[in-house]
A and B are shown apart, each in its own frame.
Chain A
């Protein structure tokens, strides 16, 4: 089609409004309109500021005006965040109100009042803006079919956030359900720029799939903070740079400082206030803050009432904060996409470049930051790998289906395998998941009289919910996002936010920590309330952050390796980094792009082996555990290991003479299963699986279980099941999850497959410059929970015995 010659959008109802605003249509909007009108499912890739939201609504609005006074639900818009959903409503309101179009639209999320939800069900709007969880709930109602049977479009916003997780699985199943209700349904996906656009298309589109892409030609301006200070070997808090960061904040009207963890956010915020001589308005924003506090910060941000906000990924997606002038990223970027997303938060204007400064917190991060900038210049984005769908989400979906009414399992299976993540779901696994919902799916049929769903006697393929009470349980447990056990933090009667139970358990009365930018003193914990008071002390512990370490993307890791191998160091780095690398070159070696450097040296009576994999923390952690086993087998008497994104260090009593015999693909095949058995990874994932599949409930009607109770009973179930029914579908599901996510199985496999021919072994007399950062990180214990527990008990008992002996001798 020749877009320039004929622009069908000039006849669109919104054209008048566009003209009034002196805006013109983007080429991708014209193209999308055409494809959708001719019956295609489309994924649109466009940067922020390129009218993405409007792009999704062009066809629905056109249709609705042509259909005149269409009654019922016509278009469903899915947003990843509640706050975004509200923002969409505001954006949609402007043209519809100003043009006085006869189109109704409403938002429906967890925050919508029951009254309003009820009204929506009786009299649905033409356009409904909602979240994947709310969609799943709508599909679980008995009248879901009537509600959706005229649905024409489903628009998935920020589809790139939905591709590689369980939320995506849930959404994909519910989209297929909608397609069953309304076979004419068309799908429109809106995405930030992606490397593997085809994958997004495969995931979403069924009818004449099309990709529409609009690339931004204006590259962001990103540089690394120039510092006169010494960049430390290791550490993650960027204390050295605080004064220079402060100067950068002063230079711009409005700055967002992005950090990677909540602990970093609190620390940065606190430190900025300590040097805030100019009385700048600085705020902090992270996911654990109470909603009202967060909204206040967001509000101040959009009105330009603050000078700087320190934030975690909580501010990554979402609202347009037009006045943000500069982004400062403190800590490793971890991935190109993530960095671009963050950088894109400044200057929401297509034609002016975003501005960002990167602040590496240590020397490896400097190289990573530099590599990220290079990749962005080349527009080399990270790949988002689609994953195979998880079993537990299917189980939840089966329960939801039963809530909506009796169903035929063959029909349900056929519908599920239409969803891209479940193309390969085996009938046998599906049947086990049916059993899981029916009675827990145990081999021992003890629960015949207590089923949740049952087969009709006249037709064994039809299943039905035992009683309607169960629907309430489903509705209180819908969704795939499982938080760590959290406790409510109370200052007087005011709620400050949520904090990890694990962190609080380690505190004694009077211990202090930073939260929401204040130093607080722990007083007491009761049920799930933690009472604190303001502390006068400035010394504090910092909330731990267990919300997941962000993995270093494979793409960026490769780029780091390539950069490191370059010989023109003086052009690339400041003197201190160059010196560090030069010394490394003289003493040991700097690995080439496809080489794996292994250094070995004696240190303090022990023998050290450092392996530079650049595989990311997850994969390195797993490799460390596997190597421990390998070393043990060869009788090198290993003592421990530490891993970070770039390397692993192991120390042993004996010299590791034959590393090449251990470090290869056989290591994975031989020890992985064993490793999974013994560590708590699968156990932890089992908890998520048990909750998502509704085997155990996180919330019962009328009462909320505290996190610990859930954790406790799921651990017991896990132990009992493993012993008695090792083939149970939920164990299988947890094991698959472990392989997929936690241990970065495929990445490790790829590396180990080719590693043996590429090992460069350096025997040194002492520690190398490149090894210093990871050696400094040695302080963690790397024993499994079971071992740690025994160790703690043993140790404590010995200490007490010792004390007792001393006393008796005296």
Chain B
């Protein structure tokens, strides 16, 4: 799989076009904001999104796990969209997950969407520290390098009179934000106030995700 090499906190990370991030030295795969079961949660308001998101997200995740065989999988928050989401996890899904858990340590950091939800067999954390890195859903005050999610960053690109928006990996010197690994999840402009408040506006490294490639701006 094609990847884009990203240096962050003196470590090398691989950004994949499926919106996952790989930390080779520690054989750790990182994903964020899967929002599993978003379609179900919308259906309760009679907004019927196609119910295939859970299946697709899990398949994509399993493909990565098969290929990379990581020792750890860190989910930096919002694995589930809300309490209804668990309805979309079928028995077979649970079985598959527990099979992968045999070889990979699943580290589920709680996000604002799933902080009160439990799934059997999953270990929960509010945040998780490895070396000088802190994995957390929303960045906090800390001297550590932070890898987080929550914002679903996308970048606005104006080039030769055309404007496009692309889901992106983005980081400054201290904070790294992953794009959403979900299917029916929207995005937030990197220039929006919410993201600027966290990353600032200058010296951002932005990596838009293309069809089969992660670009570097």
Contact among B48, B53, B159, B215 with A447 in the assembled complex (CB-CB below 8 Å): B48
Which residues 712-741 of A have a CB within 8 angstroms of B?
712-713, 716-717, 720-721, 723-725, 728
Which residues 685-722 of A have a CB within 8 angstroms of B?
695-697, 709, 712-713, 716-717, 720-721
Contact among A439, A441, A793 with B166 in the assembled complex (CB-CB below 8 Å): A793
Complex interface bits, A400-441 against B, C-beta within 8 A gives 1, otherwise 0: 000000000000000000000000000000000000000111
Which residues 170-217 of B have a CB within 8 angstroms of A?
183-184, 186, 208, 210-211, 215-217
- The answer to whether B157 has its CB under 8 Å from any CB of chain A is yes
**Contact residues in A for B53 (Cβ distance below 8 Å):** 720
Complex interface bits, B90-133 against A, C-beta within 8 A gives 1, otherwise 0: 00000000000000000000000000000000000000000000
Which residues 759-810 of A have a CB within 8 angstroms of B?
786, 788-790, 792-797, 800
B175 to chain A, nearest CB (A): 23
Contact among A446, A696, A793 with B51 in the assembled complex (CB-CB below 8 Å): A446
A446, A470, A796, A800 interface centre (most CB from chain B within 10 Å): A446
Contact among A446, A470, A728 with B40 in the assembled complex (CB-CB below 8 Å): A446
| A506 adjacent to B163 (CB under 8 Å) | yes
**Contact residues in A for B64 (Cβ distance below 8 Å):** none
A527 to chain B, nearest CB (A): 12
| A793 adjacent to B210 (CB under 8 Å) | yes
| B52 adjacent to A723 (CB under 8 Å) | yes
**Contact residues in A for B140 (Cβ distance below 8 Å):** none
| B184 adjacent to A713 (CB under 8 Å) | yes
How many residues from A make CB contacts under 8 Å with B?
41
Q: A713 with B161: in contact, given A439-B48, A720-B56, A789-B210 (CB under 8 Å)?
A: no
| A717 adjacent to B211 (CB under 8 Å) | no
**Contact residues in B for A724 (Cβ distance below 8 Å):** 50, 52, 55-56
**Contact residues in B for A697 (Cβ distance below 8 Å):** 47
| B208 adjacent to A793 (CB under 8 Å) | yes
**Contact residues in B for A452 (Cβ distance below 8 Å):** 46, 48
A505 to chain B, nearest CB (A): 4
| A720 adjacent to B50 (CB under 8 Å) | yes
| B51 adjacent to A786 (CB under 8 Å) | no
B169 to chain A, nearest CB (A): 14
| B50 adjacent to A725 (CB under 8 Å) | yes
| B52 adjacent to A716 (CB under 8 Å) | no
**Contact residues in B for A505 (Cβ distance below 8 Å):** 156, 163
| A716 adjacent to B184 (CB under 8 Å) | yes
**Contact residues in B for A717 (Cβ distance below 8 Å):** 49-50, 184
B42 to chain A, nearest CB (A): 9
Contact among B39, B46, B183, B215 with A797 in the assembled complex (CB-CB below 8 Å): B215
Cα distance A440–B49 when bound, in Å?
Answer: 7
Q: How large is the interface on B (under 10, 10 to 19, 20 to 34, 35 or more residues)?
A: 35 or more
Q: Closest chain A residue to B184 by CB distance? A: A716
- The answer to whether A442 has its CB under 8 Å from any CB of chain B is yes
Cα distance A502–B40 when bound, in Å?
Answer: 31
| A792 adjacent to B157 (CB under 8 Å) | yes
Q: A440 with B210: in contact, given A720-B184, A792-B162 (CB under 8 Å)?
A: no
Cα distance A446–B90 when bound, in Å?
Answer: 10
Contact among A470, A720, A792 with B159 in the assembled complex (CB-CB below 8 Å): A792
Q: A473 with B46: in contact, given A713-B186, A720-B183 (CB under 8 Å)?
A: yes
A164 to chain B, nearest CB (A): 30
**Contact residues in B for A439 (Cβ distance below 8 Å):** 43, 48
**Contact residues in A for B210 (Cβ distance below 8 Å):** 789-790, 793
B80 to chain A, nearest CB (A): 15
A731 to chain B, nearest CB (A): 11
**Contact residues in B for A789 (Cβ distance below 8 Å):** 164, 166, 210-211
Contact among A720, A786, A793 with B52 in the assembled complex (CB-CB below 8 Å): A720
Q: A506 with B158: in contact, given A444-B52, A720-B184, A786-B211 (CB under 8 Å)?
A: yes
| B51 adjacent to A444 (CB under 8 Å) | yes
B55 to chain A, nearest CB (A): 8
B51 to chain A, nearest CB (A): 4
Contact among A450, A712, A723 with B44 in the assembled complex (CB-CB below 8 Å): A450
B14 to chain A, nearest CB (A): 18
B73 to chain A, nearest CB (A): 24
Contact among A446, A506, A709, A788 with B186 in the assembled complex (CB-CB below 8 Å): A709
| A440 adjacent to B159 (CB under 8 Å) | no
**Contact residues in B for A800 (Cβ distance below 8 Å):** 216-217
Cα distance A695–B43 when bound, in Å?
Answer: 10
**Contact residues in B for A790 (Cβ distance below 8 Å):** 210-211
Contact among B40, B51, B159, B186 with A712 in the assembled complex (CB-CB below 8 Å): B186
| B160 adjacent to A442 (CB under 8 Å) | no
- The answer to whether B88 has its CB under 8 Å from any CB of chain A is yes
A542 to chain B, nearest CB (A): 14
Q: A442 with B51: in contact, given A505-B163, A792-B162, A793-B215 (CB under 8 Å)?
A: yes
A794 to chain B, nearest CB (A): 8
| A442 adjacent to B211 (CB under 8 Å) | no
Q: A695 with B48: in contact, given A446-B39, A450-B43, A797-B217 (CB under 8 Å)?
A: yes
Cα distance A447–B157 when bound, in Å?
Answer: 38
Q: Closest chain B residue to A508 by CB distance? A: B158
**Contact residues in A for B160 (Cβ distance below 8 Å):** 792, 795
Cα distance A450–B84 when bound, in Å?
Answer: 11
B196 to chain A, nearest CB (A): 14
B39, B50, B87, B215 interface centre (most CB from chain A within 10 Å): B50
A182 to chain B, nearest CB (A): 32
Q: Closest chain B residue to A695 by CB distance? A: B48
Q: Closest chain A residue to B183 by CB distance? A: A720
B18 to chain A, nearest CB (A): 15
Q: Closest chain B residue to A801 by CB distance? A: B216
Contact among B48, B49, B162 with A788 in the assembled complex (CB-CB below 8 Å): B162
26 A–B contacts, CB within 8 A, in A order = A440-B48, A440-B50, A441-B48, A442-B48, A447-B51, A450-B43, A450-B48, A452-B46, A470-B46, A473-B46, A505-B163, A506-B161, A696-B47, A713-B186, A716-B183, A717-B49, A717-B184, A720-B49, A724-B50, A725-B50, A786-B211, A789-B210, A790-B211, A796-B157, A796-B217, A797-B216
Give 8 A-B pairs besides A724-B56, A790-B210, A790-B211 with Cβ atoms closer than 8 angstroms: A440-B50, A446-B43, A505-B156, A713-B186, A716-B183, A721-B50, A725-B50, A793-B208
Closest 7 CB pairs of A and B: A440-B48, A446-B51, A450-B43, A724-B52, A505-B163, A447-B43, A720-B50
